[in-house]
Amino acid sequence: MSSLQWGGRFASAPDAALLAFGSSLEDDLVLAPFDVRCSMAHVAALASGRVLRAHDADALRAALERVAGEIDDGSFAAWALAGSFEDVHGAIDARVRGYAGSAGERLHAGRSRNDQVATTLLLYARDRALRGATLALDVAALLEDRAAEALERRTLLAATTHWQPAQPVLLAFWLDAAAQPFVRAAERFARVASDAARFCPLGSAALAGSSLPLDRAAAARELGFGAPSRNALDSVGDRDVALDLLHAAARAAVAASRPSEELVIWATPAFGYVRLDDAASTGSSLMPQKRNPDPFELVRAAGARAIGIYAGALASVNGVALSYHRDLQEAKAQIVAGTEAALAALEAFRRAFAHVQFTGASSARAGDGYTVATDLADAVIASGRSAREAHRLVGERVLEAETEGRPLDRRDAVALGVPDAPVDAAESVAAKRTAGSTHPDAVEASIAATREAIRGLSESLP
């Protein structure tokens, strides 16, 4: 039982299979660097409260620095996985005891794994939220750069609703639209990072605080928190920020999933709007001609995966009484797994999108499917007719053109009494007047504003 942090009141060792069932070590390993930071802060709290003598504190710091080096080079994970530890926190404690000797036996004074895990999760949440914000902003900036290029070329596109041709837009308009959710994702991540730095649970102990004179303020300062947490009972079981991190990560995965759907379809020969470089394509083990957009298919699925994990994590916390209960170990595993998977999908989208080449083929088909019909109806309304009447009249012209197998053209505009109305995709785009529309001037303004928002958010991140 030497690998465990408890055991004095037990007459025999736990069932090995049940101990393995209860172990979260493999799920926890990603938290190892944050646990070392947490332990360093606890040493500061013990030393400042005169619970530790100076030479013991120095020995613990040296041991923790040694463990941190092993975490960085990967040797700690191999060592920990070879042991029978309940979690990464217990593994680090054992490693420190091995290096620090008798001083190592003093590390856990006044501390429970309850406040230790809560603090470590907040440190993890802060780190991953900042990484997520940076990644989301990188994707948004990439999309806006491509939007600016497409705006110069005036590439057109038939935008869709219900996957049916709807209205002509600039490709730059689509790219700018795809960038907006990533800006919002970065804002969510930034809020999580800020919230994760507010209150430090360390020193809450199991649930009621400690009888030892721990300097909680010193620990909070060392870890970059604004203040010690206010209520120990709440602190040890609070997973709100960690769940907010997972939610932000899931929303970012959804932001990447939605344009991935269109890119997968646009890459088919039936559309041919985009071509993926070899670096972002895969082949078939059977069909020599295949060129598959696998990265975007996997990113498309990643949104669903993240949503499912988030729902599971939230359900794991639901109904759990105040303070710590082992159910929260399940939530921790889901939070870590879901966050890592979502951030990996975001990075994959960033890398894959850099290899997307827009062919320009969408311009030739931007008017297909009678996409200028709404412009004709708007022109009829502007001439004094009601919206309902305009809708009916233009619908009749569409039916007639469809029957004759031709597009809407100038003859239809003349017949409707609006001879100068837009009858092709370029005229449709140029006719838009409202802010936020697909008009080139509006798109240019949106790109500029979004770039400024990206710049401001980037500068605000620590």
Strands 199-200 and 227-228: what pairing? parallel
Q: How many CA atoms lie within 13 A of 263 on its CB side?
A: 29
Alpha helices in 23-153 (DSSP H): 25-28, 32-48, 54-73, 75-81, 88-100, 113-153
Q: How many CA atoms lie within 13 A of 210 on its CB side?
A: 22
- Which tokens sit at 40? 């360093």
3-state secondary structure of 164: strand
3-state secondary structure of 330: helix
In the 8-state DSSP scheme, what is residue 225?
-
Q: How far is CA 18 from CA 14, 22, 78, 327, in A?
A: 7, 6, 22, 15
CB 291 within 8 A of CB 272: no
Token match 């004709």: residue? Answer: 376
- Which tokens sit at 310? 């988030």
3-state secondary structure of 86: coil
* CA gap 418, 40 in Å, rounded: 76
Q: How far is CA 377 from CA 11, 428, 431, in A?
A: 85, 12, 13
* CA gap 276, 257 in Å, rounded: 17
Closest CA to 122 of 111, 110, 130: 130
Q: How many CA atoms lie within 13 A of 163 on its CB side?
A: 6
Catalytic residues: 162, 284
- Which tokens sit at 392? 């009916």
Question: In one letter, which amino acid is 180?
Answer: Q
- Which tokens sit at 51? 């619970």
Give just the sign of the alpha carbon dihedral 269, 271, 274, 280.
Answer: negative
